[in-house]
Amino acid sequence: MASEPADKKYKHMIPLDEQRPASMERRSKLISVEEAGKIIASKKIISTTGTHSSEAAMTLIRAAIKAGAKDLTLIPPTTTSIAADILIAAGCLKKLYLSYVSFEFLGMAPAFRKAAAEGTLEIIEADEPFIQLGTQAAAGGRPYNVVQYLYEATDHPKLNPELRKTIDPFTGKEVYAIPPLRADVYLMHAQAADIHGNAQSWGGNRQEPDKAKAADMVIVEADDIVGTDVIAKDPSRTTIPGLWVDYVVHAPYGAHPCFSPGQYAVDEDHLRMYVEMGRDGRAKEYLDKYVYGPKDHYEYLELIGLRKLFQLRNMLSL
């Protein structure tokens, strides 16, 4: 991994006095989906959160694909499905830190499976501790994190070139060093956010704060944009503060076809269709219809259909 200047400062570590702008007037961080897509496409290393088919920042991912993102490295959450697979299907990924990419009971991830079999994707065998501890190392500005015996009984030292042995200076014993997994941009889905970037993830896997601090830029997509007074009424629900967020995108049903806790259920029919089309060699047909075809996010939602979207919202109350 590329070394970083010793004097480099990360925004969450800079003293508050230095972080404050010349004007104390708070500014809106709202941008369009299309603007966000272009920003993401200009980066090289992206990071995401979510669990399986839940809380993926799918609107931002589709926007990045549409904006022509190429040669990306993805640091996913410990488990993911369509968020990673669709980037592979679109030819956007060069490198993937792999813990789990699949569609659970719906089957294997078709684009990932094909790329792995053909050797067209650089895959780093990164299990859950590697991703979590690597993210925490980057979030804390540390050179690495360590584990003791975890990898002795596995093939990870052979399969993961970024996993190194080092000596514990206190005991003199060998330990495994996990490098910091730092991203250019972190993409987060939130159920609610205000225009200043204070974002609430009502489900989440609690990786969000570390992921945000382990990235040079944070872009949040939110199902709902709410007033700052709404955020202030229940500050304990704020997952990451606006201080860490660079841009906010309003994206109703933004995680579709994934689950957004408290907002709408997973679109199992859509995920099944994606898996079947990918398995049948029709990934391009899917991308043309659902990614490249719609002129904007709202046309994508029209393609999914009002009836279906309402059904997904109502499923949470059944």
Angle of helix 82-89 relative to helix 58-66, nearest 10 degrees, comes to 10
% of the chain beyond a pLDDT of 90: 83
**Residue 22 confidence class, pLDDT cut points 50, 70, 90:** very low
Asked if residue 311 and residue 270 are part of one domain, the reply reads yes
Residue 161 buriedness (CB in 10 A; 0-12 / 13-18 / 19+): exposed
Asked if residue 163 and residue 299 are part of one domain, the reply reads no
Task: Give the pLDDT confidence of 165-223 residue by residue, as tens digits.
Answer: 999 999 999 999 999 999 999 999 999 999 999 999 998 668 899 999 999 999 999 99
Query: Could you tell me which of 126, 106, 111, 102 has the C-alpha nearest to residue 51?
Result: 102
Give me the sheet containing 174-178, strands edge to edge. 145-147, 174-178, 164-167
Could you give the CA distance from residue 76 to residue 55 in angstroms, rounded to a whole number?
Answer: 12
Asked if residue 204 and residue 172 are part of one domain, the reply reads no
Could you give the CA distance from residue 227 to residue 110 in angstroms, rounded to a whole number?
Answer: 41
Asked if residue 51 and residue 188 are part of one domain, the reply reads yes
pTM: 0.91
Could you give the CA distance from residue 42 to residue 184 in angstroms, rounded to a whole number?
Answer: 10
For residues 35 and 296, the answer to whether their CB atoms sit within 8 Å is no
Task: Give the pLDDT confidence of 224-274 residue by residue, as tens digits.
Answer: 999 999 999 999 899 999 999 999 999 999 999 999 999 999 999 999 999
The answer to whether position 31 is within a domain reads: no
Number of domains the chain is built from: 2
Is the pLDDT at 12 greater than 60? The verdict is no
Six-digit token string for 118: 């053909």
Asked if residue 196 and residue 57 are part of one domain, the reply reads yes
SS3 203: coil
**Residue 314 confidence class, pLDDT cut points 50, 70, 90:** very high
Is the pLDDT at 14 greater than 60? The verdict is no
Amino acid symbol at 115: A
Backbone angles phi, psi at 220, to 5 degrees: -110, 130
Kindly report the CA angle at 4 between 79 and 217, in degrees rounded to 5? 50
Distances in whole angstroms, Cα of residue 262 to Cα of each of 54, 84, 266 = 12, 23, 11
Query: Could you tell me which of 149, 126, 100 has the C-alpha nearest to residue 1?
Result: 126
Asked if residue 292 and residue 252 are part of one domain, the reply reads yes
Average pLDDT over the chain reads 92
What's the average model confidence in pLDDT over 267-292?
A: 98
Higher pLDDT among residues 251 and 20, named by residue: 251
Is the pLDDT at 1 greater than 60? The verdict is no
% of the chain beyond a pLDDT of 70: 91
**Least confident piece of the model among 37-46, 53-62, 309-318:** 309-318
Could you give the CA distance from residue 303 to residue 295 in angstroms, rounded to a whole number?
Answer: 11
Asked if residue 193 and residue 74 are part of one domain, the reply reads yes
- The domain that holds 223 is classified in CATH as 3.40.1080.10
Asked if residue 120 and residue 148 are part of one domain, the reply reads no
Is the pLDDT at 152 greater than 50? The verdict is yes
Name 172's Cβ contacts closer than 8 Å, sequence gap at least 6. Answer: none
**Residue 27 confidence class, pLDDT cut points 50, 70, 90:** confident
